[in-house]
């Protein structure tokens, strides 16, 4: 963080102490103000809600977020874009219903997943979990998309459409932390199809 030496007052009249610096770092890392305050050993007279609204703390949080996002080649725009993409998810785009019966109805045994590898990248990014299993002569599949409604809620928060202040450091910290957790979970939720024996 670019800031004055510890114990000095910055241009905004804010005194940077070790607990306050640690609070900012932990808050950016976890998105949880309460645990960040506890782990940073903030004194009781430092109210987290007031700290998060202070212009110096907001600037320090924004700077750390930029560093984190740069490291993973993301920016606020790409985070917004990713949430927008997830919000457009529709499970039916990933299912092939096969041949219909003589009345034009879906035959359950004909349903199969579409080849996700052939889909555009933005559609692949909507997939949270994909699993294919083989039992006897049957092939079963499970597909789960990232939650479009949750993505819409996150977008509304980030854009200030839910009545909160647009671009507040608290909301953005929460969104970045949530976004990074989702990125970490992508690989662990993909299961390779089991080979037929």
For 136: left if phi > 0, alpha if psi spans -120 to 50, otherwise beta; the answer is left
Asked if pLDDT for residue 73 goes beyond 80, the answer is no
pTM: 0.45
CB distance 127 to 112 below 8 Å: no
Q: What is the DSSP string of 135-182?
A: ETTEEEEEEEE--HHHHHHHHHHHHTTTSSPTT-HHHHHHHHHHHHHH
Q: Each residue of 17-61: pLDDT tens digit? A: 888 888 988 888 788 888 888 888 988 888 888 888 888 888 888
Q: Where are the domains of the chain?
A: 1-71, 75-90+122-197
Which helix (H) or strand (E) segment is 22 a member of? Answer: helix 18-30
Kindly report which listed range (10-14, 25-29, 68-72) carries the lowest average pLDDT score: 68-72
pLDDT at residue 21, rounded to an integer: 87
Q: Which of these, 9, 54, 115, lies nearest to 24 by C-alpha position?
A: 54
Mean per-residue pLDDT, 81-103? 88
User: Which pLDDT score, from 0 to 100, does residue 34 have?
Assistant: 87
pLDDT tens digits, one per residue of 98-120: 888 899 898 888 888 888 888 88
Average pLDDT along the chain:
78
Q: What SS3 state is found at 130?
A: strand
Distance CA 66, CA 74 (A): 9
C-alpha 5, offset from chain centre: 34
**What residues contact 66, with CB distance under 8 A and at least 6 apart?**
75
Tokens linked to 53: 């609204």
Asked if pLDDT for residue 186 goes beyond 70, the answer is no
In this structure, is the dihedral angle defined by the CA atoms of residues 174, 180, 184 and 187, taken in order, positive or negative?
positive
**Do the Cβ atoms of 89 and 75 come closer than 8 Å?**
no
| pLDDT tens digits for range 118-168 | 888 888 888 988 888 888 877 788 889 989 898 888 888 777 776 655 555
pLDDT of 173: 64
Q: How far apart are CA 51 and CA 26, in angstroms?
A: 13
pLDDT band at 184 (very low <50, low <70, confident <90, very high): low
């Amino acid at each position: 963080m670019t800031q004055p030496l510890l114990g000095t007052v910055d241009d905004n009249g804010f005194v940077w102490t070790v607990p306050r610096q640690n609070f900012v770092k932990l808050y950016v890392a976890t998105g949880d103000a309460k645990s960040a305050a506890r782990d940073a050993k903030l004194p009781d007279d430092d109210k987290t809600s007031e700290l998060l609204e202070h212009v110096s703390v907001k600037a320090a949080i924004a700077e750390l977020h930029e560093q984190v996002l740069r490291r993973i080649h993301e920016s606020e725009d790409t985070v917004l874009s990713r949430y927008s993409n997830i919000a457009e998810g529709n499970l039916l785009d990933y299912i092939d219903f096969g041949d219909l019966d003589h009345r034009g109805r879906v035959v359950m045994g004909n349903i199969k997943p579409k080849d996700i590898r052939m889909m555009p990248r933005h559609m692949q990014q909507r997939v949270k979990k994909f699993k294919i299993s083989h039992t006897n002569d049957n092939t079963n599949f499970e597909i789960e998309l990232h939650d479009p409604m949750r993505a819409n809620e996150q977008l509304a928060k980030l854009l200030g459409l839910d009545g909160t202040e647009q671009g507040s450091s608290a909301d953005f910290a929460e969104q970045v932390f949530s976004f990074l957790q989702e990125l970490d979970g992508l690989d662990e939720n993909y299961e390779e199809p089991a080979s037929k024996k």
